[in-house]
Copies of this chain bind each other. A is one copy, B any other.
């Protein structure tokens, strides 16, 4: 069968594959200063935000990504108090970090205010914590902000960006990671959305090497399902400045908030590496 205009399709050219959702309406479309943003009503996935033709977030399945971009990371740090999010304009990552009682401040910096304005309208369930007094939401160049940030001031940096092409490209460079390294405290952890463990093994290699180049002492990959993203399987790459990932398992088991995907067992299981990744990414080999 071929898929007509009643479907939104994202084709991922290098893999020769595409993922599609049946749509009932195109609710909104605009060219912001930085990118094209479309909002669709889908038949079964709720609303769908698409940026420059790439699926970003759907009502139904964003919990995989937002939970796995945050909880494995925050529960791998002894006391994550001060957090920076680069990107993350839909506010779903911000919302999850604010669930942690350790969190004292979260600064979210997305370059495009329109993403957040549209999220407030179409994904209000992700924006419930935007007015938390611990949250600061800025719209500016995140790289510049990190470059100027006070040294050794942050516990956690989360790069919740678009793909390595387009506006997000600068978030995949040595230069940016060296700014992050400097802004983090000695036991700080950087986490970045690192694409598909099936399609993007070369990118994962490059990222591991870049993290090593700028001084991080250990990297760790967490992987998880994400149906609307290419291959249906996604990952978050963590880099620890002092080389430690201290899993607070007891805290994760007794987490004082609800999740839909994450739990302490999922935390541990999401870092088990398939044979082909052990061979391709020896840097990630588990102790």
When distances are taken between beta carbons in the complex, the residues of chain B under 8 Å from A259 are 275
Q: Determine if A263 is an interface residue (Cβ-Cβ < 8 Å).
A: yes
Residue numbers of A with Cβ under 8 A of B are 1-5, 7, 9, 11, 14-22, 42-45, 53, 61, 197-198, 225, 227, 231-233, 258-263, 265-266, 268-276, 278, 286
> Given the complex, which residues of B lie within 8 Å of A278, measured CB to CB?
263
If A1-B11, A19-B20, A227-B232 are given as contacts, then 13 extra A-B residue pairs at C-beta distance below 8 Å, sorted by A number, are A2-B5, A2-B9, A16-B42, A17-B22, A18-B18, A227-B233, A233-B233, A260-B276, A261-B275, A262-B274, A265-B273, A266-B273, A268-B272
CA–CA, A17 and B20, complex, Å: 5
Please give, as numbers and ranges, the residues of chain B lying within 8 Å of A20 by CB-CB distance. Answer: 3, 9, 11, 17-20
Q: Which 7 pairs show the lowest CB-CB distances between chains A and B?
A: A232-B232, A269-B269, A16-B44, A269-B272, A16-B43, A16-B22, A265-B272
Which residues of chain B are within 8 angstroms of A233 by Cβ–Cβ distance?
225, 227, 232-233
Give chain B residues whose Cβ lies under 8 Å from the Cβ of A11. 1, 3, 7, 20, 22
> A119: shortest Cβ distance to chain B, in Å?
22
Of A20, A42, A273, A278, most B-chain CB atoms within 10 Å: A20
**Which of A45, A262, A275, A278 counts the most B-chain CB atoms under 10 A from its CB?**
A275
Q: How far is the CA of A276 from the CA of B14 in the complex (A)?
A: 33
How many whole Å from A184's CB to the nearest CB in chain B?
28
Question: Could you list 13 examples of A-B contacts with CB < 8 Å?
Answer: A1-B11, A2-B2, A11-B20, A15-B44, A16-B22, A16-B43, A198-B227, A227-B231, A261-B276, A266-B273, A266-B274, A268-B269, A269-B270
